[in-house]
Chains A and B, each alone.
Chain A
Amino acid sequence: MTISSSGELPLSNEHDIVLSRQAVRRMTVELGFSLVDQTKMVTATSELARNALIYGGGGTLRWTLLSEGTKRGLRLMFEDQGPGIANLELAMTDGWTSGTGLGLGLTGARRLVNEFHIESTVGLGTRVVITRWK
């Protein structure tokens, strides 16, 4: 697997959520994703960027354009230094929320991508990595 390019975006305020959606849209277009796949990746981005901001107190989005043979993909890492998630299993349940949301952010985002990985340490923060291949 080779990395074609990478970069990062801040997730410090609501406008950054909009900017990250737009950046991910541009990347998926560049990768030649279908419109449905673009929309899925952009929507997952919106959910996870909002989580990092609301629950994690802000963070960063690191993006990587990947290629593996003829396959191309986009990997996004959402990282925050917030309170972390004590019970990941519970957090990955549809409808469970620690806040005022619908509880669809994490579980919904997982359904929209090909690869989903989450790790969280109480007191240190949360990292979610998603990948979608063309």
Chain B
Amino acid sequence: MGEFLLVTIQVDMQDQLALRLQDDLTRAIEKKGAKGVLIDISALEMVDSFIGRMIADISAMARILSAKTVLVGMQPAVAITLVELGLSLPGVATALNVGRGMELLRESLRNSDSDDNFLER
């Protein structure tokens, strides 16, 4: 994955596991000097306010570490439910799948090379 980290969430997570993932991931961004993080949630059948907040927090922490986060693969039923729940994940970039997420990351990296707008979000 080069300068990007890919996280695939495969299981119905307990809250503690979600918090640990947040910890591990921010540590990994720093250690690897990653410029982008892809979080693949295509296997998740539900995102509640706890997991939603975890995703938003990861995105915010990554941004401070100058990495961009893209959330990929959200199932339509999950997206519909999340919005009705009241969580719109502001500031979190999304893409349909990992491939498009990678494109999005590469594109924003290219833009950040030319002007310094990488941290705009």
Q: Which residues of A contact B (CB under 8 A)?
A: 14-15, 17-18, 21-22, 25, 35-36, 38-40, 42-43, 46-47, 50, 94, 101-102, 104-105, 107-109, 111-112
- Minimal Cβ-Cβ distance residue in A for B83: A111
Contacting pair B84 A21 (CB below 8 A): no
Chain B interface mostly: helix
Complex contacts, A107 vs chain B, CB 8 Å: 86
Q: Which residues of B contact A (CB under 8 A)?
A: 12-16, 45-50, 52-53, 75-78, 80-82, 84-87
Contacting pair B48 A43 (CB below 8 A): yes
Contacting pair B80 A36 (CB below 8 A): yes
23 contacts between A and B (CB under 8 A): A17-B15, A18-B12, A36-B76, A36-B80, A39-B80, A40-B81, A40-B84, A43-B47, A43-B82, A43-B85, A46-B48, A47-B49, A47-B85, A50-B15, A50-B48, A50-B50, A101-B49, A102-B49, A104-B86, A104-B87, A108-B49, A108-B85, A111-B84
Contacting pair B49 A105 (CB below 8 A): yes
Closest 4 CB pairs of A and B: A108-B85, A46-B48, A39-B77, A104-B49
Contacting pair A35 B50 (CB below 8 A): no
* Bound-state Cα–Cα, A105 to B13, Å: 18
Chain A interface mostly: helix
Complex contacts, A15 vs chain B, CB 8 Å: 14
Contacting pair A102 B45 (CB below 8 A): no
